[in-house]
Structure 1
Amino acid sequence: MARVVLAPALSRRLPGQGADRELALELPGSTVAQVLEALFAQLPLLRGYVVDEQGAPRRHIALFINGDALQPKNDLSRPVGGDAEIYVMQALSGG
């Protein structure tokens, strides 16, 4: 199972979560898309915040696989191993 870590800016949107805590979950899937679907099945409130209507990551979301930014950002078919860590965070913008 892959380990999905939600940054505090995302986990605080969930009922019962602390404002400054990451949330880590062990989820099944062999691609980024499959792991995200398992995440949304468990935490449906996150779907609309993380992905758009076509299932692509929203502009303000960054995904890291084992510490490396997912590039291109919409490559959700990228395979992940059972020991992978997927970090989901809010991207910063502005100047």
Structure 2
Amino acid sequence: MGRAAAQRFNVTVQVLPLDRGPRGSYAGDRGPMKAGETKDHDHVVSMEVEDESNLVSNRTKVSQLAQRYAKIRAQALSPDESLGLIERLAGEQQ
């Protein structure tokens, strides 16, 4: 992802280093999670655990996952710090 894409008004890039949580743990350790909303405004979460996708639509479970998502964002670097890290790492690989 380039700087231009990361600076779009509808894009937020945040990197979550593996050591950001207390005692080296972090809220995103259970795998990728994507939050979404249906055309009927129901909230859903797609999770990938051990190479298997799972779509969660149960409101209670979605609420719990939304809390985990909020914790992931709280532990992540800010968007500016994230972009800086990505650029530094990309520069090291060139």
Common fold by TM > 0.5: no
* TM-score of the aligned structures, taking structure 1 as reference length: 0.28
Report 1 or 2 for greater relative contact order, CA contacts < 8 Å, sequence distance ≥ 6. 1
Structure (1/2) with the larger helix percentage: 2
Structure (1/2) with the larger strand percentage: 1
- Which is higher, the Rg of structure 1 or of structure 2? 2
